[in-house]
Each structure stands twice: as C-alpha cells, then as structure tokens.
Chains A and B, each alone.
Chain A
Amino acid sequence: QKEVEQDPGPLSVPEGAIVSLNCTYSNSAFQYFMWYRQYSRKGPELLMYTYSSGNKEDGRFTAQVDKSSKYISLFIRDSQPSDSATYLCAMWGNRLAFGKGNQVVVIP
C-alpha cells in the first residue's frame, strides 16, 4: 500500500461548481497536511496547510483533515476557470510524501 493515495483521474466541472478532491494515507506519523496547486509548466505552489483534524478555510478553499480515518479533502467553492490546474495532496512526517495529483478543468 502506498503511503499516500490520490485517485489521479482528471476532473472537469462547469464554472461555479464545487470541486471536491481527496486523499487517503497509511502513515500515522504524518503531522502536517498540505495541498499544492500546479499550473502547467510551473512549480507546485503551496495552497493550503493544516496540522490538525478539522476544517481550514481560505477564501473559496477549504481543507479538511480527518486523522482518525486518515483522510484529507480539498473543496473549491464557486470554481473559476483560473482554478484549472493540477492539485496534489502532500503530507509531512520527516519528509514530504505526495499523492499523484488530480487535473482539474473548470469550463466557462
């Protein structure tokens, strides 16, 4: 079993829809949980960061962590075409472990 599982399937949604992404993990040592956004031909950009179970909001973005289920989610409300990118979950124990990433396309 991989440390971090993220179903890498692409996701196309109409503008204004809610985007829901998720990852599961197996390593209980992970302490910090992150979501990265990567635009085409750019480096991954730290989008959301949290270290405890529960929800964290930042504008249209909500990161959710459930440590008991080893499950994290990212929600994007009122999605915009500018949100079209690849989203990667990442978790820190003593190094950063990444999911495979989801390519999200928001259609105007």
Chain B
Amino acid sequence: DAGVIQSPRHEVTEMGQEVTLRCKPISGHDYLFWYRQTMMRGLELLIYFNNNVPIDDSGMPEDRFSAKMPNASFSTLKIQPSEPRDSAVYFCASSQSTSGRTYFGPGTRLTVT
C-alpha cells in the first residue's frame, strides 16, 4: 500500500487566496483525520470523518475552514480566504476503527504571505 497520500506537499499563497489541500487515505480505512501542526500549538485535530461522514469539526478554527469527504478514497480541506496565521503543516491521517492504528501522510506545508 502506498500509505496516506497528500497533495500538494508545499503551498505558498498570498493572503486572501483560496487554498485546497487533498488527501487519499489508505484503502479500507474507515476513519480520516485532518490535523494541523505548529511549533506553538503542536498537533491539533481539526476534523475527522467516519465512513465519509464528518463526526467532529469542533477543532476547525473558524468558518474559513471547510472539509469534505465525497467518497472513501478522497478528502479535501479548504481555506477561504487564507490568512498568514494559517501557515502550518497540515496532516491527513487514516485508520481502521477495529484497531485504531492510525497512519499519517507526509503533510502539506502551507505558507500564507
């Protein structure tokens, strides 16, 4: 298995622009998580899905952030409009509920100028 795939790996954008991050989870996994990591705040859970349904989005910072999972093999995290404080590494992770083993993608390093 290729593991969790994320794209792009790096994104540099200007304040106010829309940013879309993409994730392909491991096949057969029924949970998908979006995390954000910064030096100051560490690893923060933004939102997670179970069987493509959003379960808890309480970690989403504000309405500028939205996430979708249209099918079992694809999810997006969108930021519109982006702000410099959104600069961070965004990780997607997936797991099987039967084991809890959760695997992370390589992350998308977002820089908003």
Are A and B interaction partners? yes
The answer to whether B106 and A43 touch across the interface, beta carbons within 8 angstroms, is yes
Indicate whether A96 reaches chain B with its CB closer than 8 angstroms. Answer: yes
Residues of B within 8 A of A8 (CB): 42
Min CB gap A7→B, angstroms: 13
* B42 adjacent to A96 (CB under 8 Å): no
Q: Are A46 and B102 in contact (CB under 8 A)?
A: yes
Interface size of A by CB at 8 A reads 22
A107 to B95, CA, bound (A): 35
A43-B48 in contact given A92-B102, A96-B95, A96-B102 (Cβ < 8 Å): no
A-B residue pair count with CB separations less than 8 angstroms: 54
The CA-CA distance from A30 to B42 in the complex, in Å, is: 21
Contact A95 B48 (CB under 8 A): yes
The answer, yes or no, to whether A77 is at the interface (CB within 8 Å) is no
CB-defined contacts of B33 to chain A, threshold 8 Å? 95-96
Contacts of A92 in B (CB 8 A): 95, 100, 102
Residues of the A chain whose Cβ atoms lie less than 8 Å from the Cβ of B93: 96
User: Are B43 and A44 touching (Cβ within 8 A)?
Assistant: yes
Residue B18 at the chain A interface, CB threshold 8 Å: no
B101 partner residues in chain A, CB cutoff 8 A: 32, 34, 46, 49
Mark A residues whose CB is within 8 Å of B.
8, 31-32, 34, 36, 41-46, 49, 51, 88, 90, 92, 94-96, 98, 100-101
